[in-house]
Amino acid sequence: MKKFLILSVIILGTWMSVGVGAAETVDRSMCVFDPSGAHGDVFKAAQRYQAQALTWGIRLDLKAYTDEVVANSDFKAGKCNMAFLTSLRVRSYVHESGSIEAIGALPSYDLLRKTIEALSNPKVRELNTDGDYETMAMFPGGAVYLLLRDKNLKDIKDLAGRKIATLTYDQAATTMVDIVGASMVPAEIATFAGIFNNGRADACYSPAIGIKPLELMKGISPNGGIVRFPIGQLTFQIVARHKDFAEGFGNTSRAWAATQFDAMLSLTKKAEQEIPAKFWIEVPKDLQKNYFEKFREVRIRLRDKKVYHPTILKLMKRVRCSADKEAAECADNLE
């Protein structure tokens, strides 16, 4: 009889603990943008996040979108509690974390890693929140490169008078086009590849992960190439309405996401390695200064227009100067 009572208590305790766990698990949804839909690598990353979120008491329903405009629109309309978007879109919700893709601010993946780790520190939660919104995770999407139909245009000054396929909502790119004296060919994500490939533009820009699915090799073949000098760092970010989640959820989520940096970056490195070596255009050191100067001019102009958040620009400058204390920019306070 005594053994029966003990067994009954154990079973009852187990049942109660399961019941409590089930009661504490809440249902939420996430709009996920991936050009390849539910079969793409970004959606797979969202599934890994989904599995991890369950251990935090969140049961996530994932909704795949091949059009970021629609994914963003549905999130804005409240059809999803979270959204997995590019930083370009997230910046309209969280000005600070969305500024991490500032043009030319992070010329290497190591600097991007250090910046994401810094923003994942619980002490700087305010840099991930803006009004009702909070950035819950940041993942590397790859360096954005300039693609050319003529590989002889390696100096940024050579772009003067050329046509560049430019995303209409990308203020950094439109400003850059203006500064270098090029002309903009208005484009959207769904149209810029076709514009470049059929010769209506002399140049466009894309991370390596977009080159194969968008068939951009057609545009650079046979006489073009890809300038191996990062224009910026694309990041995918998860943004949410923080009222929909328990206090501290964001800190936990960002800390976990930072540990996934290498896993996400491996996708980018694989895509970069698949590009034939003959299409990479190296920028001579004496010409790199021109890129740095133009990029910095764009960042400062967009900071003054309140497109980029000044605190994030200062953070990224500290990261750059910690890696290269002798850099000329480290001696002034322009950023």
- Asked whether residue 331 carries a pLDDT value surpassing 80, the answer given is yes
Q: How many CB atoms lie within 10 A of CB 218?
A: 13
In a domain, residue 16? The reply is: no
Per-residue pLDDT tens digits for 282-298: 998 888 888 888 899 99
Q: What is the CATH number of the domain that holds 213?
A: 3.40.190.10
Residue 206 located in a structural domain? yes
Asked whether residue 193 falls in the same domain as residue 87, the answer is: no
d(CA 98, CA 190): 22
pLDDT tens-digit map of 45-69: 999 999 999 999 999 999 999 999 9
Look at residue 22 and tell me if it is in a domain: no
Nearest to 131, CA basis, from 96, 101, 99, 102:
96
| Residue 17 pLDDT exceeds 50 | no
- pLDDT tens for each residue of 67-118: 999 999 999 999 999 999 999 899 999 999 999 999 999 999 999 999 999 9
With bands split at pLDDT 50, 70 and 90, how would you rate the model's confidence at 19?
very low
The pLDDT of 25-53, averaged and rounded, is: 95
* Residues of the domain holding 157: 144-231+283-309
Q: Are residues 226 and 305 in the same domain?
A: yes
Beta bridge partners of 30: 62, 82
Judgement on whether residues 159 and 215 belong to the same structural domain of the protein: yes
Query: Could you tell me if residue 5 is inside a domain?
Result: no
Q: Which of 48, 248, 34 is nearest to 134 (CA)?
A: 248
The alpha carbon of residue 162 and the mean position of all alpha carbons in its chain are separated, in whole angstroms, by 27
Q: Is the pLDDT of residue 14 over 50?
A: no
Residue 7 has pLDDT above 60, yes or no: no
Q: What percent of the chain has a predicted confidence (pLDDT) above 90?
A: 76
Q: How many whole angstroms separate alpha carbon 257 and alpha carbon 259?
A: 5
Length of the chain: 335
pLDDT of residue 296: 92
Whether pLDDT at 22 is above 80: no
Is the same domain home to 148 and 173? yes
d(CA 313, CA 101): 10
Task: Quickly state the pLDDT bin for 332 (edges 50, 70, 90).
Answer: confident
* 213 and 299 fall within a common domain: yes
Helix H or strand E segment including 31: strand 26-33
In a domain, 6, yes or no: no
Check pLDDT > 90 for residue 10.
Answer: no
Same-domain check for residues 288 and 163: yes
- In this prediction, residue 21 carries a pLDDT of 37
Q: Could you write out the DSSP letters of every residue in 119-168?
A: HTSGGGGGGGEETTEEEEEEEEEEEEEEEESSTT--SGGGGTT-EEEEET
Give residue-wise pLDDT tens across range 190-204.
899 999 999 999 999
Q: Are residues 261 and 168 in the same domain?
A: no
Q: Are 86 and 157 part of one and the same domain? A: no
The answer on pLDDT for 314 being more than 80 is: yes
Q: How confident is the model at residue 242 (pLDDT cuts 50, 70, 90)?
A: very high
CB 115 within 8 A of CB 80: no
pLDDT at 106: 96
Say how far apart CA 78 and CA 29 lie, in whole Å.
10
Give the CATH number of the domain where residue 63 resides: 3.40.190.170
The pLDDT of residue 285 is 86
Please state the domain count of the chain.
Answer: 2
Predicted local confidence at residue 189, as pLDDT: 79
Q: Domain check: are 130 and 148 in the same one?
A: no
Regarding whether 219 and 263 lie in a shared domain, the answer is: no
- Confidence band for 333, pLDDT divided at 50, 70 and 90: confident
Instruction: Place 13 in a pLDDT band, splitting at 50, 70 and 90.
Output: very low
Asked whether residue 106 is assigned to any structural domain, the reply reads: yes
Alpha-carbon distance of 331 to 173, in angstroms, equals 27
Judge whether 324 lies within some domain.
no
Same domain for 41 and 108, yes or no, is yes
CA angle 64, 264, 238 (to 5 degrees): 50
- Pick from 108, 113, 121: which is nearest to 139 by CA? 113
Q: Are residues 49 and 150 in the same domain?
A: no
